[in-house]
């Protein structure tokens, strides 16, 4: 009786696994591929412009106060440098500002993919990078479609559905694998 119930349970798991898998195959493959590319982005990272190497003065984390940083002045410097560096970037808009106290740097990230990095020790320009991964990040987390579904929280629903699909595939796959190993031992 118990063996019959176990066999019925395994057959239902196989059916769930078989029915759901084709619908989520492309999405899971897309997440896996973009995740691998994002995980290896340091391999492809290349700086466009770097200033001459200067001696870095290490500053203690408790001495840096975010409210005392000349963020607006460096923002104007970043925009003007980027406009002078590449004339095609004359109308680029600032996307976000990242302050990384642990690395002693402040990053100005523009919507066109450029990143202008300033030092927190002497507030001088360190480097300018062209980030080619924003589109990949938006594809990976589903936010590339969020502009189309502006009223609908697509990114959150996408994450929840794919998370549930991965959990279902993991659990049913584990049971199917275990059942196969159990049959071979008999």
- What tens digit of pLDDT does each residue of 121-149 get? 888 888 888 877 777 777 777 777 777 77
Q: Tell me the average pLDDT across 51-76.
A: 61
pLDDT category of residue 64 using cuts at 50, 70 and 90? low
Residue 100 phi/psi, 5-degree rounding, is: -115, 95
Contact 86, 79 (CB under 8 A): no
pLDDT category of residue 57 using cuts at 50, 70 and 90? very low
DSSP 49-79: EEPPP-PPPP--GGG--GGGS-HHHHHHHHH
- Grouping H, G, I as helix, E, B as strand and the rest as coil, residue 142 is coil
Query: CA 126, CA 51: separation in Å to the nearest integer?
Result: 5
- Max CA pair span of the chain: 79
Task: Write out the two tokens for 86.
Answer: 């590449």
Report the b/e string of 53-76 with b at 16+ CB within 10 A.
eeeeeeeeeeeeeeeebebeebbe
Query: CA 121, CA 36: separation in Å to the nearest integer?
Result: 34
Per-residue pLDDT, 173: 80
């Amino acid at each position: 009786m118990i063996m019959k119930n176990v066999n019925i349970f395994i057959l239902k798991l196989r059916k769930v696994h078989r029915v759901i898998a084709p619908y989520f195959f492309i999405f899971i493959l897309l997440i896996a591929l973009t995740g691998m590319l994002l995980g290896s982005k340091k391999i492809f990272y290349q700086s466009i412009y770097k200033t001459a190497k200067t001696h870095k003065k290490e500053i203690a984390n408790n001495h840096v106060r975010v409210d005392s940083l000349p963020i607006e002045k460096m923002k104007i410097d970043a925009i003007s440098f980027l406009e002078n560096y590449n004339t095609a970037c004359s109308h680029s808009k600032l996307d976000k500002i990242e302050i990384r106290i642990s690395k002693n740097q402040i990053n100005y990230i523009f919507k066109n993919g450029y990143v202008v990095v300033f030092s927190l020790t002497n507030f001088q320009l360190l480097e300018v990078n062209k980030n080619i991964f924003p589109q990949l990040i938006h594809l990976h987390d589903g936010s590339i479609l969020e502009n189309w579904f502006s009223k609908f929280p697509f990114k959150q629903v996408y994450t929840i559905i794919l998370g549930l699909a991965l959990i279902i595939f993991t659990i049913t796959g584990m049971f199917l694998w275990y059942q196969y190993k159990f049959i071979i031992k008999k």
